[in-house]
Amino acid sequence: MDTFTQGFSSAFTLIARFDPELYGIAGLSLCVSCSATILATAVTVPLAVFLGLHRFRGEETFSRLTGALMSIPSVAVGLFAAMLFSRRGPFGGFNLLYTPAAMAIAQALLVSPLSFGLAYQLSRQRGRENSEAARTLGASRLQTLRLVLRELRPALAANLFIVFARAISEVGTVMIVGGNIRYQTRVLTTAIATSASMGDTGFAVALGLILVTLALALSSAVSFFPKRDREAAG
């Protein structure tokens, strides 16, 4: 019980005093995960919407495969990214391994299937309905696309928060490609694991409280979207 009390007491003290290392870790986590989310969604969402609005051969099989890839293990992605960025890898000449840039790219690879899958299923379920209704009314292709994007925008925004939550809460990928180097590549999740293993309970709890606060903030943000959009995003 003393460990529990002391841990939370030390955690609140660190947060209140704006401990530089604590907030530096939180800031790096936000920077890496935001970059990964933007990179992933910028590439996958337009492609997912395009494919979701069109019927093609084997789309049911493609849909099932997309759903399976949404839960890809983070350590597998981290290993793949580390091989890409290693000295003997195809991108070894850029010296990205054990840098925040490598972490952001690896996280983008991790969340890309989730980002694509959510947008693709949304486009298939709701986008096609809007598209067919617009064409029935005589809308052009450009007008139809604008209508569909306007209707899907709230749900796509809700998906963005879900993708970011996946990025900031994962451990394996950033641990492998970032190396968990203090003051350089240590983020919230890897710092919690390291602090807990070293017995620094107060620091681990402080980091955990920040991570939980971020998770609650994301959940609250998603709750502001209409119920239909939340259900589509989930």
pLDDT for res 224: 65
Interval 188-224: pLDDT, tens: 999 999 999 998 989 999 999 999 998 888 777 766 6
Three-state helix/strand/coil letters over the chain: CHHHHHHHHHHHHHHHCCCHHHHHHHHHHHHHHHHHHHHHHHHHHHHHHHHHCCCCCCHHHHHHHHHHHCCCCHHHHHHHHHHHHCCCCCCHHHCCCCCHHHHHHHHHHHHHHHHHHHHHHHHHHHHHHHHHHHHHCCCCHHHHHHHHHHHHHHHHHHHHHHHHHHHHHCCHHHHHHHCCCCCCCCCHHHHHHHHHHCCCHHHHHHHHHHHHHHHHHHHHHHHCCCHHHHHHHC
When mean pLDDT is compared across 26-35, 57-66, 113-122, 146-155, the lowest value belongs to: 146-155
Query: Residue 138: is its pLDDT beyond 80?
Result: no
pLDDT for res 230: 47
pLDDT for res 127: 76
Query: Residue 108: is its pLDDT beyond 50?
Result: yes
Q: Output the pTM of the full model.
A: 0.87
- For the segment(s) 2-233, the CATH number from 2.60.40.790, 1.10.3720.10, 1.20.950.20, 3.30.390.50 is 1.10.3720.10
Query: Residue 143: is its pLDDT beyond 80?
Result: no
